[in-house]
Amino acid sequence: MNRKELVEQYEIYHQKRDNRDCEIKWHHIDMIYALNKKLKINSVLDYGCGHGKQWTEKAFHKKMKIPEYALYDIAYPDWTEMPEGKYDLVISTDVLEHIPEGELLDEALNNIFSKANKAVFLKVGTTPAIKILANGQNAHCTLKSKEEWRSILEPLAKEHDVYMWLGFNNE
């Protein structure tokens, strides 16, 4: 699947649902708050933010004590422009497994790690999704084991000299 097809599939998908699950989960806030205490985070980029209401309406950044935020999502018109600059923390939860392997996944990983000053917070799915896209494909198109994800992500964190918190959908 190329970028245009991916965007089309997720635009259709997002139109047909209420988007309640398209956000950082509440239990992540405590983890990010603890990370903030350790690393003194002043800015965050949510890469794959979905509708963004967790920031614009629920003010998660205030609960996490992070003054500045930016949003990016390939399939939401309000957030399709990659924000400029770097951020102390880049968050990406339930995103990577939705991106096809190859050039698109490589681009996403490069964006996530190159935008981070201090840390990345990743939550990755390792099992098929319940959700099916309009083209009949499972929404989790890149399935890897925890070990495979670690073998890809840990070298990137080291290369970019950032702390990485990595969790999986079954933890």
pLDDT at 25: 65
The pLDDT-based confidence of 33 (bands split at 50, 70, 90) is confident
Residue 22 lies in a domain: no
Residue 93 in domain? yes
Residue-wise pLDDT tens digits, 38-93: 999 999 999 998 888 888 888 888 878 899 999 999 988 899 999 999 999 999 99
DSSP classification of residue 132 = B
Residue 23 lies in a domain: no
- The pLDDT value recorded for residue 28 is 79
- Calculate the average pLDDT of the chain: 89
Q: Which two tokens stand for residue 10?
A: 């997720």
* Mean pLDDT calculated for residue range 92-100: 93
In the prediction, which pLDDT does 90 show?
A: 97
Cα distance between residue 62 and residue 18, in whole Å: 24
What total number of domains does the chain contain? 1
Distance between CA atoms of 168 and 127, rounded to whole angstroms? 10
Query: Domain for residue 55, yes or no?
Result: yes
pLDDT score of 21: 52
Domain CATH for 96 = 3.40.50
pLDDT at 120: 98
For the chain, percent of residues with pLDDT exceeding 90: 61
What is the mean predicted confidence (pLDDT) over 98-127? 96
In a domain, 92, yes or no: yes
Which domain range does residue 51 map to? 3-17+28-168
Tokens representing 28 are: 């992540």
Residue 112 confidence (pLDDT): 98
pLDDT at 77: 86
Higher pLDDT, 57 or 27: 57
Q: Taking the alpha carbons of 113, 65, 171, 132 in that order, is the dihedral positive or negative?
A: negative
- For residue 65, CA distances in Å to 6, 27, 59, 148, 165 come to 34, 15, 10, 33, 18
pLDDT in tens, 5-16: 988 888 888 776
